[in-house]
Amino acid sequence: MKPAFNTPSWMLAALDERRRQDLMRHTVTLDSPQVPHTQINGQRYTAFCSNDYLGLANHPSLIRAMQQSADEYGVGGGSSHLVAGHLTPHHRLEEALAEWLGYERVLLFSTGYMANLGVISALANKQRPVIQDKLNHASLIDGAQLAQAPMRRYLHATPLSAKKLMMKSEQSGLLVTDGVFSMDGDIAPLSELSDLASQYDWTFMVDDAHGLGCLGEKGRGSLALSDLAMAQVPLLMGTFGKAFGTSGAFVATTRDFADYLTQFARPYVYTTSMSPAMAGASLAALELICSQEGEDRRVRLAEHIAYFRQRVASLPVELMVSKTAIQPIVIGDSSTALAVSEQLKAFGIWCTAIRPPTVPKGKARLRITLSAGHSKQDLVLLCDALEQVLTAK
């Protein structure tokens, strides 16, 4: 009989430390589709923590498109894009995205994390440094580390700080920022950063996972708000798992960058392509985003944001400056944030507490995300509940 495996002591110590600091993470299983009125553990809740900003994750048009694409092309990509896994739905989606955003080429990736790892690890190295915002997504930081590139992080949303780092660098490289910051909800100063990249001959990359679909004309995202295009931002990463309501990601870029990434972006070269059925659903989502219904959903989302901020402004909490669907309320310590999240469940509201290391120490928060799928009554319920919980003595 083989001896039982003993869990390493260092692992048990790390887990105990997480528990002691109220930082342990757990998976939650939904018993319903990804919709505002969801079911968890047999209980009904109104959820305010999904990234389904336009309420498309359970949209009938996307479901039909996915079924039709599956009927014609199956559900599996079968291999990488470069072997035999690039099917007609992938090609159609890439072309439609390129036209929508005004870029020469688009490459599809399985996830946003893999897209960022692929781009940065391919373009940065020990001689090509990376300078990026201090609050950038973990995948952008990990991409630079994977490339073993010199990496410096400038003060959040502060172009002057980025400029100082660029001036100190002996080599030009990648200047990288989120478009909308996922935990704070604010928008990067893209015009100023673009000017810096041009002035010092750095390549500018923007991860607009949380902006595309929601912001700008026809939902073209953060770049549209700053009137920027491919000439100023040659690398734009976007995901389908937020406003599009599906899954996967893409990089919009120039022909030359696309050719280079096709050779050297390892997550692209060595990964099976996304399901052609999912590509069909994502194309239907893009068509919806560009339609009048998409515009109506963006208007409804903006109305929800304005109402929420007006109601919460008078409460004794720190509501972060944000004009986007991400509306964080900073609580402070992790245990208090967990307690507030639990109290909201009594009102039928599901909003998980976000704690370090995802956010800085002492900045645990409720990351409230609003959706066009919410009704006005949902917003009233949320604000009434927050008022009672946050003002209770």
CATH classification of the domain holding 387? 3.90.1150.10
Record the pTM: 0.94
CB burial of 349-369 (b: ≥16 within 10 Å; e: otherwise) equals bbbbbbbeeebeeebbbbbbb
Q: Is the dihedral of CA 67, 73, 78, 82 positive or negative?
A: negative
Looking at the structure, tell me whether residues 311 and 379 fall in a common domain.
yes
Q: How high is the pLDDT of residue 392?
A: 75
**CATH number of the domain residue 268 falls in:** 3.40.640.10
Tally of domains in the chain: 2
Position 296 in a domain: yes
Residue 391 annotated as lining a ligand binding site: no
Position 209 in a domain: yes
Residue given tokens 């560009």 in the structure block = 290
Position 17 in a domain: no
pLDDT digits (tens, 9 = 90+) for 349-384: 999 998 899 888 889 999 999 999 999 999 999 999
Residue 239 annotated as lining a ligand binding site: yes
pLDDT mean across residues, the chain: 95
Position 253 in a domain: yes
Q: Does position 296 have pLDDT exceeding 70, yes or no?
A: yes
Looking at the structure, tell me whether residues 128 and 275 fall in a common domain.
yes
Residue 344 in tokens = 């909201």
Kindly list the catalytic residues: 182, 210, 242
Among 230, 258, 290, give the residue marking a domain's end: 290
Looking at the structure, tell me whether residues 67 and 113 fall in a common domain.
yes
Q: How much of the chain exceeds pLDDT 70, in percent?
A: 99
pLDDT digits (tens, 9 = 90+) for 21-49: 888 888 888 888 889 999 998 899 999 99
Among 258, 290, 322, give the residue marking a domain's end: 290
Q: Does position 91 have pLDDT exceeding 90, yes or no?
A: yes
Looking at the structure, tell me whether residues 157 and 193 fall in a common domain.
yes
Looking at the structure, tell me whether residues 330 and 203 fall in a common domain.
no
Got the DSSP string for 60-86? HHHHHHHHHHHHHH-S---SBTTTT--
Looking at the structure, tell me whether residues 36 and 153 fall in a common domain.
no
Looking at the structure, tell me whether residues 87 and 216 fall in a common domain.
yes
Residue 137 annotated as lining a ligand binding site: yes
Looking at the structure, tell me whether residues 317 and 385 fall in a common domain.
yes
Residue 112 annotated as lining a ligand binding site: yes
Q: How high is the pLDDT of residue 1?
A: 63
Q: How high is the pLDDT of residue 197?
A: 97
Looking at the structure, tell me whether residues 234 and 127 fall in a common domain.
yes
Please tell me whether residue 249 adopts helix, strand or coil conformation: strand
Structural domain span for residue 45: 27-57+292-391
Average pLDDT over residues 276-295: 98
Position 21 in a domain: no
Among 234, 263, 290, give the residue marking a domain's end: 290
DSSP-derived secondary structure letter, 356: T
Q: Which residues contact 288 (CB under 8 A, 6 or more apart)?
A: 56, 59, 61, 62, 294
Residue 91 annotated as lining a ligand binding site: no
Looking at the structure, tell me whether residues 83 and 170 fall in a common domain.
yes
Looking at the structure, tell me whether residues 280 and 367 fall in a common domain.
no
Angle of CA points 259, 87, 218, to nearest 5°: 75
Average pLDDT over residues 201-227: 97
- Low-confidence winner among 270-274, 281-285, 333-337 (lowest mean pLDDT): 333-337
In what helix (H) or strand (E) does residue 260 lie, and over which residues does it extend?
helix 255-264
Residue 25 annotated as lining a ligand binding site: yes
Residue 79 annotated as lining a ligand binding site: no
